[in-house]
Amino acid sequence: MVSAVGVLTHSRARLSTQTVSTFTFLFYLYFIVDYFLRFPARIPGYSSLRPTLIGILILSTLLFVQREKFKGRFDDPVFRGFFLLVGYIILTLPLVEWPGSVIRGNWETFLKAVVFLFFTALTIDTEKRLKWFVAVFVFCQIFRVLEPLYLNITQGYWGSATHLQGAEFANRLSGAPADVINPNELGFVIATVIPFLHYLLWPKGWFSKGVYLVLIPLLLYALILTMSRGGFIALLVVAFFVFKESSRKTGLIALGVIVVFCAFSVMTPIQKDRYLSLIDRDTAGGASAEGRFRGMVNEIKLGLSRPIVGHGLGTTPEAKTHKLGSRQASHNLYAEVLIELGLIGFIIFMMFLVEIAKKLKSVRAKMTNIVSGSGNYFLRLNKVLLCVFWMYIVYSINYWGLSQYYWYLFAGLVIAFGRLIPSPDNVERSEGLNGEDETNHHYRLASRLKNRHPWEV
């Protein structure tokens, strides 16, 4: 009879053959930092090297060389949903309205976005690497918010403005000069990072709580300065999940009242009107809110003007120029998908999102049986991902994204996270191992998530 120690040793040996090299993972972390902190805009001459393209080629080569380690990985339902989407885009290319526009350049933007799905799903294959990736990703997003906020406080930087009634304009905080995000995108970054901070920092020790209490007010103040109504709605989604998961609902309600009072006390009249325009069209920002709603309706009508296969990947600005008279990105992800891929493509893309939701649900079910304790990192990260998923779903009403990174990076993170959660389907069962009971078996399964060597990433 095989001993439990022997099985665990064999399991660890088998896991080690399924992990990519440390260099590959560290290079991906560098790629993440380079991409989000915009090194090409900060380092003179660096952009001439085409670092994003070179990074993609290097990572793709490294993963291709190690392809034997990925057997069975692409059978994941999320991967299959994505492959179906890509297959549809390729097969319908001759049938779309502007195939030439897709071939000339739109595919490159799409490619730069979807690589995050593969790089994230394939390089994060240990618990330690998962923690490192999350830490680096969150750090980058926080930096993207604090940098323009610091410039605003010290130098009066805004970066953007919005048109009010008449000939008036109001300043809005956008990304730093080296960044490329507008105020709504900065609001999106803020709404993305807050769940990570809340679930991963607050349950830990006093130092983590102190960092949390310093960062959250700064992020919320930055959100006020963006005047991003979409970001505010996304924050409400996050607040709903925090409230839903909390056992201290009365205290959270009181805290929420205090936060709203403090927020309104630091807002200018224009900022107050901007946020109140969500419910009151008679405010100074009411016209722009109404215009945004009409724009979404017009985009849906535009998508339905060519309902079968659409206008082509990345052709929303072109379609809006020819048929609506304004060359703009979509104000709505779902309308964008409808415009570019048609009804069939829209259904396939929604199936891709459904597969992500199913994956999160199955991960949560596995964790119910295997992982316990509210302080467990995996349990807390699962709450983060569920919160961010539904926040993305809601925010996509006000944000484009078919050729943006966020859904694909998120999908890759969900795939990697789900793979790291042990289950009876991918490990040896406990029966017959020297009488090991189910509790000890679950402990052994959880221990497999740790690295073999403490000095490796």
Neighbours of 442 (CB within 10 A): 16
More confidently predicted of 316 and 445: 316
Instruction: Look up the domain containing 267 and give its range.
Output: 126-282
The pair of structure tokens assigned to 129 is: 């690497």
The C-alpha atoms of residue 423 and residue 400 are separated, in whole angstroms, by 36
Q: Is residue 209 part of a domain?
A: yes
pLDDT of amino acid 450: 43
Q: Is residue 400 part of a domain?
A: no
Lowest mean pLDDT among 35-39, 154-158, 244-248, 447-451: 447-451
Q: Is residue 292 part of a domain?
A: no
- pLDDT level of residue 370 (50, 70, 90 thresholds): low
- pLDDT level of residue 283 (50, 70, 90 thresholds): low
Q: Give start and end residues of each alpha helix (H) in 156-285.
A: 183-201, 206-226, 229-245, 249-266, 269-276
Q: In b/e form, how buried is each residue of 219-243, taking b as 16+ CB within 10 angstroms?
A: bbbbbbbbbbbbbbbbbebbbebbe
Lowest mean pLDDT among 14-18, 280-284, 423-427: 423-427
pLDDT beyond 80 at 284: no
Neighbours of 273 (CB within 10 A): 20
Q: Is residue 137 part of a domain?
A: yes
pLDDT of amino acid 455: 39
Q: Classify residue 251 as exposed, middle or buried by CB count within 10 Å of its CB (0-12, 13-18, 19+).
A: exposed
Neighbours of 408 (CB within 10 A): 24
- pLDDT level of residue 104 (50, 70, 90 thresholds): confident
pLDDT beyond 60 at 100: yes
The pair of structure tokens assigned to 59 is: 């990572």
Q: Is residue 444 part of a domain?
A: no
The C-alpha atoms of residue 339 and residue 400 are separated, in whole angstroms, by 12
Q: Is residue 416 part of a domain?
A: no
Q: Is residue 231 part of a domain?
A: yes
Percent of the chain with pLDDT over 70: 83
Q: How many domains does the chain have?
A: 1
Q: Is residue 454 part of a domain?
A: no
User: Which residues have CB under 8 Å from 100's CB, separation 6+?
Assistant: none
Query: Under a CB-based contact definition with an 8 Å cutoff, are residues 330 and 396 in contact?
Result: no
215 secondary structure, DSSP code: H
User: Which residues have CB under 8 Å from 78's CB, separation 6+?
Assistant: 352, 355, 356, 359, 411, 414, 415
Each residue's pLDDT tens digit, 53-63: 999 999 999 99
